[in-house]
């Protein structure tokens, strides 16, 4: 079972991430960190730097508020403790080995395996890094400590880029796993 608040925050987050990433790629194109890497206009949002920033800032608020609701609800309900813990290195290695050899079972979708637990914990930490590095870029004068913790403005951009890249990789892998276990999509739509 997935409670309604989990399903709602999941889909709001998915939409916000798509808007943030595609508009962020347009923002990136205006001043590439890696000059050899430019994102095709066909997969970016905003059309130009100003338009992309409007989309990025609008989706930013949705992502941050939705993320805070998700974290708060998971803590208050005890869902984090039940779903993501315990997690051991031994169980992670065993489940990762089973996953890579196609032997990981998905009979009971109400329980996360160790790979899922690690992935969800990693993406939660990653979203925090995306938000903090984004703040360090957007408001570097107002948040000098945050900017300095990131190693300065330019390094904050690099941190933001790699955190976004991790989020995109998670998103792609998540969609692939849903395709391999389609019942999980029904669970996230219907709740059961």
pLDDT in tens, 147-170: 999 999 999 999 999 999 999 999
CA distance 160 to 167: 10
Q: What is the pLDDT of residue 134?
A: 97
The answer to whether residue 108 scores a pLDDT higher than 90 is no
Residue with tokens 């925050």: 9
C-alpha distances out from residue 99 to 87, 117, 181, Å: 16, 13, 13
Say if residue 131's pLDDT is above 90: yes
Contacts of 27 (CB under 8 A, 6+ apart): 46, 49, 52, 53, 56
Would you say residue 104 has pLDDT above 90? no
Split at pLDDT 50, 70, 90, the class of 68 is: very high
CA atoms of 73 and 15, how far apart (whole Å):
20
* Residue 180 confidence (pLDDT): 87
Residue 3 has what pLDDT?
A: 93
Conformational region of residue 93, where left means phi above 0, alpha means psi within -120 to 50, and beta covers everything else: alpha
The pLDDT, as a whole number, for residue 110 is: 83
Distance CA 171, CA 191 (A): 20
pLDDT of 51 strictly over 90: yes
Torsional sign, CA 142, 145, 150, 155: positive
The per-residue pLDDT for 129 is 98
Whether the model pTM is above 0.85: yes
């Amino acid at each position: 079972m997935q409670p309604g608040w989990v399903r709602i925050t999941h889909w709001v987050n998915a939409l916000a991430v798509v808007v943030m990433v595609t508009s962020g790629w347009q923002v990136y194109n205006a001043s590439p960190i890696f000059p050899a890497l430019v994102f095709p206009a066909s997969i970016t949002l905003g059309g130009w730097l100003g338009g992309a920033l409007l989309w990025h800032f609008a989706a930013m608020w949705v992502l941050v508020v939705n993320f805070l609701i998700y974290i708060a609800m998971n803590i208050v309900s005890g869902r984090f403790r039940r779903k993501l813990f315990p997690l051991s290195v031994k169980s992670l290695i065993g489940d990762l080995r089973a996953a890579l050899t196609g032997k990981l079972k998905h009979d009971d979708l109400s329980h996360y395996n160790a790979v899922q637990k690690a992935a969800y914990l990693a993406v939660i930490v990653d979203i925090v890094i995306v938000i903090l590095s984004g703040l360090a870029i957007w408001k570097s004068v107002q948040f000098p400590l945050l900017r300095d913790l990131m190693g300065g403005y330019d390094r904050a951009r690099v941190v933001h880029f790699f955190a976004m890249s991790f989020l995109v990789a998670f998103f792609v892998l998540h969609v692939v796993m849903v395709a391999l276990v389609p019942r999980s999509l029904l669970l996230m739509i219907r709740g059961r």
